[in-house]
């Protein structure tokens, strides 16, 4: 049964200070990225920016872009490539997302990312951090249950994905720009793929993806 037409309004995070919002993100592989975008289009939902996994919530800082790049380069030193297991669908009010497992590697990476500053910090950082890929944000209450019923029947094309590069992004005036990329594993031995329960791009990225 086709879902009713709806207009979504996604409120951008608060930027009262006028400073840009920065994020440290991992991009999903092409197969998962394409699948998420097509699913968003079919269901009529959107997220904030292209599909991505935040290593910390978007933040503001008094550091310049150059200082921020240098600080993250130091914080990420010695971090090898890692696997991100995909757990399954979750929902919050007005939001549906694909939850990923918070592995020890992700927890360490999140803690390192939070150590970069001075910067703002969101309530769902730290112990409340849930790694995820957003499918829909700002979903209207009258269609939330319909969307949720639809996604329950969907199976992502991968059960895990490998992250070898992280990106620092900056959101300003409705565009998400990639500021710098950080290859992982330089001078380190890559981690072995996770087993058992733990198994599992550049330019401008518009603020209408996932």
Taking only the tens place, the pLDDT of each residue in 37-46 is: 999 999 999 9
Instruction: Return the pLDDT at 156.
Output: 97
Whole-number Å distance between alpha carbons of 119 and 160: 31
Q: How far is CA 116 from CA 109, 131, 177, 199, in A?
A: 11, 18, 19, 29
What values do phi and psi take at 94, rounded to 5? 70, 15
Lowest mean pLDDT among 20-24, 127-131, 181-185, 194-198: 194-198
Average pLDDT over residues 82-101: 97
Q: What is the percent of the chain with per-residue pLDDT over 70, rounded to a whole number?
A: 80
Q: Quick one: pLDDT band at residue 1, thresholds 50, 70, 90? A: very low
Q: What is the percent of the chain with per-residue pLDDT over 90, rounded to a whole number?
A: 74
For residue 6, is pLDDT > 80?
no
Instruction: Answer whether 0.75 is exceeded by the pTM.
Output: yes
For residue 185, is pLDDT > 90?
no
Q: HSE of 34 in the Cβ direction (CA atoms, 13 Å)?
A: 5
Residue bearing the bigger pLDDT, 94 or 197: 94
Whole-number Å distance between alpha carbons of 94 and 169: 25
């Amino acid at each position: 049964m086709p879902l009713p037409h709806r207009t979504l309004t996604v409120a951008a995070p608060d930027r009262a200070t006028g400073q840009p919002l920065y994020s440290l993100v991992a991009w999903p592989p092409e197969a998962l990225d394409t699948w998420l975008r097509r699913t968003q289009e079919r269901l009529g939902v959107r997220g904030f920016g292209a599909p991505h996994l935040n290593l910390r919530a978007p933040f503001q800082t008094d550091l310049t872009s150059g200082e921020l790049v240098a600080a993250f380069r130091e914080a990420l030193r010695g971090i090898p490539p890692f696997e991100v297991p995909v757990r399954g669908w979750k929902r919050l009010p007005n939001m549906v997302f694909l939850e990923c497992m918070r592995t020890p590697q992700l927890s360490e990476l999140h803690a390192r990312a939070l150590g970069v500053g001075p910067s703002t910090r969101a309530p769902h950082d730290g112990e409340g951090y849930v790694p995820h890929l957003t499918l829909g944000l700002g979903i209207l209450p009258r269609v939330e249950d319909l969307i949720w019923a639809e996604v329950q029947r969907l199976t992502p094309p991968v059960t895990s994905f490998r992250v070898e590069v992280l990106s620092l992004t900056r959101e300003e005036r409705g565009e998400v720009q990639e500021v710098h990329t950080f290859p992982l594993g330089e001078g380190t031995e890559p981690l072995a793929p996770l087993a058992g329960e733990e198994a599992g791009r550049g330019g401008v990225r518009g603020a209408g993806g996932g």
